């Protein structure tokens, strides 16, 4: 039988689609509903209180659609709002920071780990605290990359401009000796080839999104809410608070197996 209610995913924009792409691969029988708050993106420079309120509004929108589990597919929102949202809703809520941390701790050989993210995520020191609570002898280098999100949201993530911006921004990590780099923002996997090229092939990149879906899968089994394997044609819905045209362009380029036609939603009015 299974539980046919959808899994909800939220992000400030298109970044969480990197998590959804993994969900399509790892959870092929699950119905998915995605909401990107593109109109208010970026969340990175915003005060924590505001990010919490926006995350709450997105959560309420999806809870009204009867989702069975929520993924906060945004590091900035996970950093400040995960605990609050968990207290406010009756369904399991998964963030992206702990799964990425676990993967980094398992991967590093030389105990030099770097994390890149938005200003909000880096300021919260969430990765640093999480890594050091699991492995105190790890040296963590943290770097905010405020220009990366707009490169992705404006669909320029493979452009020459993106190459230049990524190379310049990552300069401070050049002599860090890191062997593991956490992409601590769900927008960054779209820049992955460029980032990998800049840091060199010897550095392992950790995509928190991919790790997160592994955790979702475990929780679906634990709460016995996984959909049954005979759900061969799962349903996917996409919502954005911004332009559906731009959202669909990026989503269709990034998600090669499905066709995305998003709907506009106005969260402040709802």
Please calculate the CA angle 49-118-72 and round it to the nearest 5 degrees. 60
Nearest-approach distance from CB 224 to ligand DGL, in angstroms: 30
Residue among 38, 121, 176, 227 that touches ligand DGL (CB under 6 A)? 121
Of 185, 194, 199, 213, catalytic: 185
- Helix locations, the chain, DSSP H: 17-26, 48-63, 75-88, 97-107, 119-124, 126-134, 148-153, 160-169, 192-199, 208-222, 244-254
User: Is 227 annotated to bind ligand?
Assistant: no
Q: Binding string, 23-42, against ligand DGL, x = CB under 6 A?
A: ------------------xx
**Contact window for ligand DGL (CB under 6 A) among 117-125, 190-198, 211-219, 221-229:** 117-125
Please calculate the CA angle 201-114-26 and round it to the nearest 5 degrees. 70
The closest of 75, 167, 87 to 124, measured between CA atoms, is 75
124 binds ligand DGL (CB under 6 A): no
Residue among 31, 38, 75, 124 that touches ligand DGL (CB under 6 A)? 75
74 is catalytic: yes
**Contact window for ligand DGL (CB under 6 A) among 23-31, 113-121, 134-142, 248-256:** 113-121
Question: Cα–Cα distance between 91 and 205 in angstroms, integer?
Answer: 31
Residues in CB range of 118: below 8 A, 6 or more apart: 42, 43, 44, 45, 75, 76, 144, 145, 146, 149, 185
Residue stretches of the annotated binding site for substrate: 11-12, 43-44, 75-76, 186-187
Interface residues with ligand DGL (CB under 6 A) are 11-13, 15, 41-44, 74-76, 117-118, 121, 149, 185-187
């Amino acid at each position: 039988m299974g539980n046919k209610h959808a899994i909800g995913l939220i992000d400030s924009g298109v970044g969480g689609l990197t998590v959804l792409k993994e969900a399509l691969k790892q959870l092929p029988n699950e119905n998915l509903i995605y909401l990107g708050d593109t109109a208010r993106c970026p969340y990175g420079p915003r005060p924590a209180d505001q990010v919490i309120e926006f995350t709450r509004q997105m959560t309420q929108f999806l809870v009204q659609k009867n989702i069975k589990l929520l993924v906060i597919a945004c590091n900035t929102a996970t950093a400040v709002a995960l605990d609050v949202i968990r207290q406010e809703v009756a369904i399991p809520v998964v963030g992206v920071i702990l799964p990425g941390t676990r993967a980094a701790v398992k991967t590093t050989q030389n105990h030099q780990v770097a994390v890149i993210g938005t200003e909000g995520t880096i300021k919260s020191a969430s990765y640093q605290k999480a890594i050091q609570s699991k492995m105190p002898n790890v040296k963590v280098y943290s770097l905010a990359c405020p220009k990366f999100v707009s490169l992705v949201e404006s669909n320029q993530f493979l452009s020459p401009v993106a190459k230049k911006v990524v190379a310049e921004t990552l300069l401070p990590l050049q002599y860090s000796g890191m062997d593991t780099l956490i992409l601590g923002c769900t927008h960054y996997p779209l820049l992955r080839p460029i980032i990998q090229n800049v840091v060199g092939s010897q550095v392992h990149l950790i995509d928190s999104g991919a790790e997160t879906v592994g955790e979702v899968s475990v929780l679906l089994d634990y709460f016995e809410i996984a959909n049954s394997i005979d759900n061969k044609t799962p349903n996917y819905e996409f919502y954005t608070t911004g332009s559906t045209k731009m959202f669909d362009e990026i989503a269709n380029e990034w998600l090669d197996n499905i066709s995305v036609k998003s709907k506009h939603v106005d969260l402040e009015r709802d």
